[in-house]
Amino acid sequence: MAARLGISRAAVWKQIRSLRKRGYKIESSTKKGYRLAGNYDILDADMIRSCLKTQWLGKDLRCFSEVTSTNEVARTIARECRSDAINRIANCGARIVKGTANCGAVDETANDGTVILAEIQTQGRGRLSRSWASPPGGIWMSLILRPQISLDRAYRINMAISVAICKALADLYGLAAGIKWPNDLLIEEKKICGILMEVSAEVDRLEYVVVGIGINANVDVSGYPAEWRSTSLGQELGRGVSRTELIQKILLEIEKSYRHMDSKEIWEEWRSRSVTLGRQVRISSVSGDLLGRAVDLAEDGALMIQSRDGLHRVLAGDCIHLRALEAA
């Protein structure tokens, strides 16, 4: 290896040690050398960037072994908006339990397109203040975006991202994921992906958006509570997937659909992939529970519910798909 690479044996050994630290299992044998064994599905920023076809999204991409929540890390970076923010965060035990130290300088143009990934989240968060199980094998990823749009158009980002992930799953694995309003991705009624969008804005100006994406990729969901109705890519496909390949594809698809997020096509695609339309649903929100049939999805992301007392426009809430019997 040393001869082929034109470097010393000590230099090879140093690299092997660094790869092992990153989680690669490498066997060594005297006189034979080294052999990569077992788990190839390690999250590695260099590896992801090496075949990333995006123009701007994920050019600054960080992988951590363990964080509280990638959304929290991303929000801190976005808020601080300084070139050394990520290095300081990486050393801050309060937020990141363990972080890879290979952090370079962050672009001072405020991290638009920065991507944060972690192998494990110790305090993964879901919508409506729920917690989000984040064991190894999943894709726990947050994007920092600074779109030049007004606050009242922020729902468009959600549409663009849900559509992009559906496309990535269809192209790579032939899986038909449907969108449960507002932004859960399901495969046959089981959740494969959740999206948590957090917005920071001043009056009408969007400062930044952190989009957290959680995908049960190679996660064993068999121990999850049945009421979560979860599935994983591993379970659906009967094999593990390369998270590196999936992340690259998702980022590419997001970049494409984000560019056109204001187009009618994105709304139409989002609408056509809906598995909520036509269903009997229960919406729980601050204003109480609403039971009815989901009859339409408006261009502003609102779910139109026909209930006994008329047509309702719902912009936010927890949506439960009811079974025919329950609804009756």
User: Which residues contact ligand BTN (rule: CB under 6 A)?
Assistant: 69-71, 121, 124-127, 130, 132, 140-142, 184, 194-196, 212-214
Between the alpha carbon of residue 94 and those of residues 68, 98, 139, 150, 203, the distances in Å are 8, 10, 22, 33, 31
Q: Which is nearer to ligand BTN, 142 or 248 (CB)?
A: 142
What H or E segment, with its residue span, contains residue 35? strand 33-36
112 vs 184, beta carbon nearer ligand BTN? 184
Return the structure tokens found at 230: 């979860």
We find the least distance from the C-beta atom of residue 38 to ligand BTN, in angstroms, to be 25
C-beta of 116: minimal distance to ligand BTN in Å? Answer: 8
Q: Choose among 311, 227, 320, 242: nearest CA to 281.
A: 320
Q: Which is nearer to ligand BTN, 38 or 92 (CB)?
A: 92
To ligand BTN, the closest distance from the beta carbon of 183 in angstroms equals: 7
Rounded to 5 degrees, φ, ψ at 27 are -90, 150
| In the complex, least distance from residue 282 CB atom to ligand BTN, rounded to whole angstroms | 17
Count of C-beta atoms within a 10 Å radius of residue 67: 30
* Minimum distance from residue 47 beta carbon to ligand BTN (Å): 20
The DSSP code for 323 is P
Comparison of 194 and 263: residue with beta carbon closer to ligand BTN: 194
- Nearest to ligand BTN of 136, 327 (CB atom): 136
**Which strands form 190-202's sheet, in the order they lie side by side?**
61-67, 115-121, 139-145, 205-215, 190-202, 184-187, 178-180
CB 9 within 8 A of CB 3: no
